Amino acid sequence: LLRAGDAVAPDRWMDVQTERACIATPAKMVCSRQGTRLRLHQGDGLEVEHGRAEVAAGGAGGIFVDTPQGRIRTGHGSFAVEVATKTRVVTVITLVAPVMVEDPVAGERELTQGTSWVMGAKEEIEPVPEAEPAERIAAKTPPPSAEELLTRAQDLFVERDHKGAAAAYRKLIATYPNST
């Protein structure tokens, strides 16, 4: 059990058991949600076996994240990576570009700001533009929360409905562009 300020040993698996846990080094900041399994590598990398991690590079070296489906890296960007527990589907959400994805199916790709990538897919998922203010006023029901949209998207991935999941992620990003 680690507490705030404890040193984290590299190459040892950590299971996040609290609602949110963050690790900071001079080169990176990694925050994970409950149920995430990850480990730090020597140097500027980490590995996510399953769960969600939000990663921001700092300093000059950048950072990489290994997943069951490939590697994600950035020099000065930030991104979220989600690895589904059962299916091992990996989704990358670019928060601050540039983010590079080394995908075994699609090869190396540079992701632009606000886009998502499903490892093994052939193209970026562009965000849907935010609704105009008049359209928002005309809406009679409030939009689902960011957590509800994320859960829906993850459920669709588990069900292998990739088009539906992509649409759910686009809606999440468009509705809550500043949400972690």
Per-residue pLDDT, 83: 92
Flag whether pLDDT at 143 surpasses 70.
no
Check if the beta carbon of residue 127 is closer than 8 Å to that of residue 174.
Answer: yes
What pairs with residue 29 in β-bridges? 24, 56
Query: At residue 105, what are phi and psi to the nearest 5 degrees?
Result: -90, -50
Per-residue pLDDT, 170: 80
Per-residue pLDDT, 42: 79
Q: Give Cβ neighbours of residue 157 (< 8 Å, ≥ 6 apart).
A: 84, 87, 89, 91, 118, 165
Q: How far is CA 100 from CA 33, 71, 90, 152, in A?
A: 23, 8, 14, 26
Position with higher pLDDT, 133 vs 19: 19
Question: In this predicted structure, which of 26-30, 54-58, 125-129, 172-176 has the lowest mean pLDDT?
Answer: 125-129
Query: 10 Å Cβ neighbour count for 84?
Result: 17
What is the dihedral angle through the alpha carbons of 99, 171, 35, 68, rounded to the nearest 10 degrees? Answer: -40
Q: From CA 104, how far away is CA 120, in angstroms rounded?
A: 7
Is residue 98 reached through a cis peptide bond, with omega within 30 degrees of 0 on the bond before it? yes
For all residues of the chain together, what is the average pLDDT? 80
Structure tokens at 156: 């669709």
Query: At residue 49, what are phi and psi to the nearest 5 degrees?
Result: -85, -45
The percentage of residues in the chain with a pLDDT greater than 70, rounded to a whole number, is 83
Provide the pLDDT confidence category of residue 138 given band limits of 50, 70 and 90: very low
Provide the pLDDT confidence category of residue 89 given band limits of 50, 70 and 90: confident
